[in-house]
Amino acid sequence: MKKKPTEKDSIESSIHTDFKNTMTYGEYLNLDQILSSQNRLSDHHDEMLFIIIHQVSELWMKLILHELKGAIEAIKENELSTAFKMLSRVSRTQTQIIQAWDVLSTLTPSEYMEFRESLGQASGFQSYQYRMIEFALGYKTSHVLTIYEKDKALHDKLSAAYHEPGIYDVAIRALAKAGLPIDEAVLNRNVTGTYQQNESVKEAWLTIYQDVEKYWDLYELAEKLVDIEDCLQQWRFRHMKTVERIIGFKRGTGGSSGVGYLKKVLDHRFFPELWDIRTEL
């Protein structure tokens, strides 16, 4: 007679169940620390949503920065295929942050007003990781550094990123290495300033797009950069519309003009020549 399987038999025998002396999943991920960091300042139910959305977005931004830094180093070393994988991961990660606005938009104006005052002057405008992403993409304004003077270690970290070349700087240098004529003023520019478009850079990209087969790697690099800027602008737009949906045209908690400021930054282009050449092709 066939033995009836017990509950224990139905579990795969190789599955580990004794963790007295080994590391668990929760320990590896520091879940106790992560899941105990949602500290509401009000009793309102929806403040939990507000905190988690922003914390998750900061985690995704940490990954974006990790990949951008790796991509910048890879491009410097002319390891473009390595950079492509990292940049693809950046744009995929950006889609996660974009979709987060759909979740936050379930917060109604009436619900947000119940706990908004608890935030004081804290604001997403102060996100240092977002500033570092802007720095890595070549958008730099020195006045934002003053926001972080309270924390010297953080201020030093941002200042170091502020003085590093952005991904577009190293991409343009890759064009010059490939023999495309680039103005020396661009190659030797002060990288603490926001990048300004240049005719020689536009002509170089135009050459690449007109002879894709010859310049395939640089063509692919260009499209990876366009993907990232496209996603960032989608993120900015969804941010602006979500803020407008929840607080209208009120001033932001951090003192910015809110929707007005968010609309203004939509006009900034990180890689202007890559957009301009589309009209000329």
Residue 182 contacts residue 204 (beta carbons within 8 Å) = yes
∠ CA 242-195-205, rounded to 5°: 100
Other beta carbons within 10 angstroms of residue 248's beta carbon come to 10
Q: Which of 184, 181, 171, 178 is nearest to 204 (CA)?
A: 181
Per-residue H/E/C for 17-41 = CCCCCCCCHHHHCCHHHHHCCCCCC
Residue 143 is assigned to a ligand binding site: no
Residue 167 is assigned to a ligand binding site: no
Residue 228 is assigned to a ligand binding site: no
What is the rounded CA–CA span in Å between residue 77 and residue 71? 10
Residue 112 is assigned to a ligand binding site: yes
Residue 93 is assigned to a ligand binding site: no
What is the rounded CA–CA span in Å between residue 200 and residue 264? 28
Residue 15 is assigned to a ligand binding site: no
Residue 253 is assigned to a ligand binding site: yes
What is the rounded CA–CA span in Å between residue 133 and residue 69? 10
Residue 80 contacts residue 167 (beta carbons within 8 Å) = no
| DSSP 8-state secondary structure symbol assigned to residue 107 | S
Q: Count how many Cα atoms sit within 13 Å of the Cα of residue 219 in the half-sphere of its side chain.
A: 11
Q: Which residues are annotated as a binding site?
A: 50-54, 112, 116, 239, 253
**Would you list which residues are annotated within the binding site for heme?**
239
Binding-site residue set for substrate:
50-54, 112, 116, 253
